[in-house]
Amino acid sequence: MQPPLAWPPTLCERCMSELTGILLDLFIIYLAAKLAAEVFERIRQPAVIGELLAGLAIGPHALGLIGTPDAALVAAFHGDAAAAAEGMRLVYHVLAELGVVVLLFFVGLETRVADILRVGRRAALVAVLGVVVPFALGYALFGTVLGHPATEASFVAAAMVATSVGITARVLRDLGVIRSSESRIILGAAVIDDILAMIILAVVVGMASTGGVSAAGIALIAGQALGFTLFVVLVGTGLARRYALRLDRLRMDGAPLAVSLLAMLGLATLSASVGLAAIIGAFLAGMVFAEAREHFLLERQALPIYQFLVPFFFVLTGSNVDWRLFTDPGTLGIALTVTALALAGKLVGGGAGMLGTGRRSMAIVGVGMAPRGEVGLIVAGIGFSLGAIPSEVFGVVVMMSVLTTVVVPPVLKILYRGQPADLARAGGQAGQAGRLPEL
Amino acid sequence: MQPPLAWPPTLCERCMSELTGILLDLFIIYLAAKLAAEVFERIRQPAVIGELLAGLAIGPHALGLIGTPDAALVAAFHGDAAAAAEGMRLVYHVLAELGVVVLLFFVGLETRVADILRVGRRAALVAVLGVVVPFALGYALFGTVLGHPATEASFVAAAMVATSVGITARVLRDLGVIRSSESRIILGAAVIDDILAMIILAVVVGMASTGGVSAAGIALIAGQALGFTLFVVLVGTGLARRYALRLDRLRMDGAPLAVSLLAMLGLATLSASVGLAAIIGAFLAGMVFAEAREHFLLERQALPIYQFLVPFFFVLTGSNVDWRLFTDPGTLGIALTVTALALAGKLVGGGAGMLGTGRRSMAIVGVGMAPRGEVGLIVAGIGFSLGAIPSEVFGVVVMMSVLTTVVVPPVLKILYRGQPADLARAGGQAGQAGRLPEL
C-alpha cells in the first residue's frame, strides 16, 4: 500500500517555514556558547573567551555551521539567495545588538553615581592614567608607526582602553582578596574606566561617521557625548530617586522591570540617533535605574534576560573573526605587539596612578586593570560593523582582547601568593562591581 | 566662525547604523505594549488585548509608526528598498517567533504530566468536548457553509479550539473562587485543552505544508504529532526526573535556566524540522522542565525573559490586522458569527462535559473555557505566515480571539454573584494554571 503523501522528504522540504533554519542556527549558537562556557569554567578560564572561540569555530570562516540561508528562507526572498543571506545577517546583527545592549544595561545597573563619587581620588587617578597611556600607545603604533588612517587607529586605541572588570572581580573573589585596598581601587577605577571608555567610543564612532578628525570636530563630539552623559545621569538619576520607588503603583505586571527595559531601549535608540553608540544609552539607562535596583531586585530580574541574549553577542562576534589571518606572520606580529602594548599601557598607567603604595600594589592594580574582555570586543565590533576597521584589524583587536584576558588570572594569583585572604568574600564592597555574571 | 563639520543633519544622516531604525521600532513596540497593558489593567480588561490593539494602532494599516526601513537600512541593502523592507520583516518575524516560543515554554513550565493525570475524568471530558464541538462548528461554517478550502477552514476551526486559561484564571482569582470545584475543573481541562490544541495545530500545519487533506494523510500527521508529543514527554520527563536536579553540578553560570532554554530552542527547532509548529516543541520543553521548576525557580527566572520578549509577539501580531476589513459588513458579519459559534461551542461542549452538576456549574465551566486569547492568535498567526489563511480570515480570527476574551470576565462575575468567595486565594490548586502573567 502506498502512502497518499510522499512522506518525510517532501514534507520536510515543503513544510519548513522561513524561520526553521534561523531557529536551528540560534540553537547551535546557544549550544556552542553553553558547551564552551562549561569547558572554560572547568579549565578556570573566563567563559566569555570560550563563547568567543565557539563563535569562531562554528562561524563561516571555520566549520560554517551557521549563517547559510536554507531553501525555505531563500524562497521567502523570492529565490534571491543573496538577499536572503543579507536578511539573515540583519537578523543576527539585531540579536547581537540586543545582547550587547542588555549587557551594557546590566553593567550600568551595577554602577551607581554615588558609588563613583565615593571611590576617591586614587581610583580616579588609576582610571584616567590607565586610559590615557594605552590609548596613546595604541594610537602611536597604528597611526604613527604603521601609518593606518586616523579613524582606524582611534578605534584600535579605544579598544585598548577599557577594563573588563567582571573577569578581574571574579579572580579577586576566588582568591578571597576582594576586600583588599587594591581590589577596591581596581573595582572603583573600572567603573570610571567604563564611563571614560563610553565617551571615547562616542568620539571614535562620531569620527567614523563623519570622517572628521579635526581637533574642533573631536572636541564637538566629545562635548556632545559628555553633555548627553551628564544630562541623562543628572536628570535621570534625579527622576529615578524621586519616582522610581513608586513604579509598583502601576497596574501592569512587572512594572519596574518593564519601565527600566523601556528606558534601556529608549536611551539606546536616542544615543544611536544622535550619533553615539546605542550601548552608551543602554549603559546610562542602567546607571539611572541603579538607584532603584535593590528595591525592585532589578539585577536579579535582568539576569535571565542577560543569560538568554548576551551569548548571542559573543558567539556572533567570534563568528566574524577569520582565524586564517593569524597564519600570516605580519598580522600575528601586529596582534602580539598590540597585546603587549595593551598590557604595558595598563601596567604603566595603572601603576603610575598607584605611585607611593609600593611595588606589589602597583603591579596588582596594573595587572588587575589589564583584561579587555568584552569591552574590547564591543568596540572592535562597532568599528567593524561601521566599516571603520578592516577585517584583519578586527581580528587583531579580538586577539588582544582574548590574550589580555587570559593572562591576567594566573599573574594575579602569583602576585597575591602568600597574602592572607580575607574571609568575608561576599562583603558589601565586593558586590559593587563583582556581580557581572560569567557568561 | 563656521563649524568644521556640517553638524547635526550630516552627522545624523551618516552616523546612523543600519540598526537605529529597528531599535526605534522596538522601542515604539515595547512602549505601546506597556502603555496599553497599563490602560487595560486599569479598565479591568486583559492586558494582552491591549497589546494586540496597540499593535493594530501602530502597525502599517493604521498609524504606520513601525515597519518602514530608514535610509541607513536601505543603504545597507545596497539601496534596494524592497529587500530592506523584506529584511526588516524577517527580523520582526524572528522576534515575534522568539516571543511566542518563550510564551509556550512558560505555559509548558506550568504543565506537569503528573498534574494532568490527577485532574480526573471530568476535566478530560470537558476538555475533549470543549475541543470537538467548537472545531466542528468552525469547520462547518467555513468549510461547508462558506465553502472555503479545507486547509483554511481547518485553521479557523483550530483557532476556535484552545482555551486561553490565563485570563480565566486571573478572573477566578480576582473573584476569590479559584478553589471552587468548577475552577479546578476549568484549570485542569485547560491544560488538556492546550495539549489537544497543539496536536490539532500540528495536523493543520501539516495539511497546509503538504496540501494534503486525505484522511490517511491527516491520520499520518496526527500520529506523528502524537508520537512526537508522547516521545518527548515520556523520555524527556524521565530524563528530567533523573538528571535535572543535578544540573547545578555544572560549572557554568545559571546552568538550570541555560539548559532549559537550550531544550526550548532545540525542541522548537526539532518540531519545526519534522513539520510541526516550533511552539509545540517549546511547550513540550517547558513540560519536561516542569519536573524541576520548583527546585531551580525556573518560572521565576523565565518570567523576565517572558516580560521582555512576549509583548513583541502580540504587538506584531496586532500590527498585521487590517482594521478596515471590518468596515466591510460581510467580513464583520462573518467575524461576529465565528465569535458566536466559538462561544456557543465552548458553552455546549464544556457544559455537556459537566452534565449532572447543575446548570450553574455547567454555565460557569462553559463560559470559563471560552476565552481564546493568545492561543487563537498564535494559531491564526501561524496560518497567516504560512499563507494558509488570507488577510481577511486572519482578521476574523483575531476579532474572535479578542471578543471571546473580553466578554468572559463580566459574565463570569455575574455567574458567581452571590456565591461565597473562598478566602485562600493563593492555594495550592490555584497556582497550577494561574501563574501565567498578564501581559
User: Tell me: the pLDDT tens digits for A252-302?
Assistant: 888 999 999 999 999 999 988 877 778 888 988 998 998 887 778 899 999
Residue A6: band (very low, low, confident or very high) from pLDDT cuts 50, 70, 90: very low
Q: Name the residue among B283, B270, B265 with its Cα closest to residue B199.
A: B283
Provide mean pLDDT across the span A54-81. 91
Is B383 in contact with B204 (CB distance < 8 Å)?
Answer: yes
Could you tell me which chain A residue has the CA closest to the CA of B311? A258
Angle between helices B298-319 and B81-109 (to 10 degrees): 140
Is B391 in contact with B384 (CB distance < 8 Å)?
Answer: yes
Q: Name the residue among B317, B223, B425 with its Cα closest to residue B33.
A: B317
User: How close B340 comes to chain A (CA, Å)?
Assistant: 30
- In this prediction, residue B8 carries a pLDDT of 28
Give B-chain residues touching A303 at CB under 8 angstroms. Answer: 254, 301, 304
* pTM of the complete model beyond 0.90: no
Across the interface, of A86, A210, A272, the residue whose CB is closest to B83 is: A86
CA distance linking residue A279 with residue A297, whole number of Å: 22
Q: What is the per-residue burial (b if ≥16 Cβ within 10 Å, else e) of B198-230?
A: bbbbbbbbbbbbbebeeeebbebbeebbeebbe
**Dihedrals phi, psi of B297, to nearest 5 degrees:** 55, 45
Could you identify the residue written with the cell 608607526?
Answer: A145
Q: Quick check: A304 pLDDT over 50? A: yes
Tell me the Cα Rg of chain B. 22
Q: Which three cell numbers stand for residue A322?
A: 577569520
- Using the beta-carbon criterion (under 8 Å), do A257 and B97 form an inter-chain contact? no
ipTM for the assembly: 0.84
B107 or A81: which leads in pLDDT: A81
Angle between helices B20-42 and B298-319 (to 10 degrees): 100
Give how far Cα B46 sits from Cα of B56, B282, B434, B439, Å.
Answer: 16, 24, 14, 8
- Using the beta-carbon criterion (under 8 Å), do B275 and A15 form an inter-chain contact? yes
- Using the beta-carbon criterion (under 8 Å), do A253 and B304 form an inter-chain contact? no
Could you tell me which chain B residue has the CA closest to the CA of A385? B17
CA distance linking residue A322 with residue A395, whole number of Å: 7
Q: Which of B10, B13, B16, B23 to mutate to test the interface with A (most CBs of A within 10 A)?
A: B23
CA distance linking residue A8 with residue A24, whole number of Å: 19
Q: Quick check: B212 pLDDT over 80? A: no
CA distance linking residue A25 with residue B287, whole number of Å: 23
Q: What is the per-residue burial (b if ≥16 Cβ within 10 Å, else e) of B136-167?
A: ebbbebbbeeeebebbbbbbbbbbbbbbbbbb
- Using the beta-carbon criterion (under 8 Å), do A210 and B15 form an inter-chain contact? yes
Residue A357: band (very low, low, confident or very high) from pLDDT cuts 50, 70, 90: confident
Is B92 in contact with B58 (CB distance < 8 Å)?
Answer: no
User: How close A70 comes to chain B (CA, Å)?
Assistant: 12
Give B-chain residues touching A77 at CB under 8 angstroms. Answer: 83, 86
User: How close A81 comes to chain B (CA, Å)?
Assistant: 12
Mean pLDDT, chain A, whole residue set: 83
Residue A254 DSSP label: T
CA distance linking residue A154 with residue A23, whole number of Å: 37
CA distance linking residue B141 with residue B156, whole number of Å: 10
User: How close A130 comes to chain B (CA, Å)?
Assistant: 29
Distance of CA B129 to the CA centre of its chain: 21
Could you identify the residue written with the cell 536536579?
Answer: B245
